[in-house]
Each structure stands twice: as structure tokens, then as C-alpha cells.
Amino acid sequence: MIFDGKQLANKILDSIKKETVPWLKKPSVAVVSFGNKKDNSSYIIQKRKTAESLGFGFKHYHYSKEDFPKAREYLNKIVKMESVSAVVVQMPLLVEINVSILNVIPPEKDPDLLSDRSVGMFFNGHSLVEPPTPTAILNILKESNIDLKNKKVALFGYGRLVGRFLVPMLIKDGAVISVIEKDTPKDMAKQISTSSDIIISAVGEGKFIKEDMVKEGSVVIDAGFSILYPSDGGVDGKIVGDVDLDSVKDKIFIITSVPGGVGPVGVARLFSNVVKLFKYSNKLKN
């Protein structure tokens, strides 16, 4: 079965809309991107459309290579705007951008938990919000009636947006986790994944998980994102996930597709965080 992420996302967004419709003042989101617009435009478009559907403010600030030396200065200026209630930096950052610039985002404007302070608050149990994509993954599992207790989970990737947050969240729900990273030997990775009840991947390597890497009847959550071009053997600009959907779909119990799976739910959870932070900053009651 292919899980319909858009349906769950719409349920979350309908709840947000119902809560915020009476508000005279609405949240406003600033999305900041660096480098090639083409590489992340689909996610930015999705965020813009979501903001507009909710009646929230939205502005996209894009900086090209010649702006990189002043990246921290530009981001700091956006963060300090009173009209901006949440700042999202489109990830991943290019190698030319020092990741420390994310630390200019204060927790009360950080719906993606990008800054070190926000991350620290999460691991100390004092976070203002939950990380969007990991929360979306847990929501999908819950919606699919998957009990995590004592389930073997193979997690591909330990990145700053998904893996590092998801591990403690899965452990809290009783899962037994094996983390597979780039330096994990291929034979070991395959051995782990084929013996796991659930596979979650957030690597960003197009279609690398094939049929021979999954167990019969397992659950596969694909949180990866890649763009294939003709040089990669794909259609120009085609968005794909980490999992070769056509290869595995007849073998597994539930799978999320890319696009249309984790992505829409993650964006919905991001805007749920925007609302929570707006309420926190404006001292609104829950």
C-alpha cells in the first residue's frame, strides 16, 4: 500500500486553518535559500502555497554565490524583522556557507530547529516545538496503525533535519534502532535492512534502496529527496526518493512515495510549528 501523505497533511492544515481563521494578526514566514534555485524550488513552492492557503504571510529571500560572504549579515537582518514570525533556511546548505550562520535564528523563530540552541533545547526536553519531518514520520506510522514497540528499525542517515532527532523519538516509542551511515559497509547495511521491520531513509541518494534490501511485509518510509537529470539516467528535473518505488512496492506492507508521502506531512508539521511559535511570542493561549 502506498501511503497518501497529502490526505494526512490536509487534515493537519485544516486543523491549523480552523484555529487561525479568527486571528486578526497572522504569522509570517521567511524562507531563505542560497545557491541554485532549481535545486530546492519545489519545496519552496510547496511552502509558499501552504502559507497562502492558510492566509499567512510569506516571503522568499534567495542569495546567489556573490552574496555568500555576507550570508550571516543577510540572515541576521531577516531574523530581526518584527514582521517575520518564523525563519526557515532551505537545507542542505552549500559547502561554501558555514553552517554556524543558522545560530542567528532564535528558538522562538526557528520552526525547523536549525540553530544549536534549538537543538540543545530539544535534547534537554525544553523545545518549544517538535522537529517537523521526524514528527511527520511518526504521524504516518501512527496513522498506519504501526506499533513501534520492539520493532526493528533501520534508519538510513543521521542528518541534522531528520536522523539525529528521530533516533530518540523512536527509542521513546520502544523501537530497536540501527543507524546506517555512508561509511557503513554495504553488506552490513543490507544485512540490517533485510532483517528490519521498518526502514526509514533520509539520505538524499536517488533510488538506492532496491527490492533486495527490504524484508517481505516491511514498512518503508522514504524521507529522501533527489532531483534526477538526464546525466543521472532520469528525466530532466524529476524528483525521486531514496527508495526505488517500482522495485519494492509489491514486496512491502506500506511505503511512502516521493513526492506525495513524507514531504507534504513535513510541511504541514512545519506550519503547525509556525503557529505554536507565533502563539508563544504573542503570549496567546493554547
**What is the C-alpha to C-alpha distance for residues 205 and 194, in angstroms, rounded to an integer?**
19
Please, which pLDDT band fits residue 179 given cuts at 50, 70 and 90?
Answer: very high
Q: What is the pLDDT of residues 181-208, one digit of tens each?
A: 989 999 999 999 999 999 999 998 888 9
Reply yes or no on whether the pLDDT at 86 is more than 70: yes
**Topology given in CATH for the domain delimited by 132-263:** Rossmann fold (3.40.50)
pLDDT tens, residue by residue, 244-283: 898 998 898 988 988 889 999 999 999 999 999 999 998 8
47: CB partners within 8 A, 6+ apart: 29, 31, 58, 88, 267, 270
* pLDDT at residue 233 in the model: 53
CATH of 24-109, picked from 3.40.640.10, 1.10.3720.10, 3.40.50.10860, 3.30.930.10, is: 3.40.50.10860
Identical fold, 24-109 and 132-263? yes
Hey, where are the domains in the chain? Answer: 24-109, 132-263
Model confidence at 285: pLDDT above 80: no
Contact 196, 152 (CB under 8 A): yes
By percentage, how much of the chain surpasses pLDDT 70? 95
State the DSSP code for 93: P
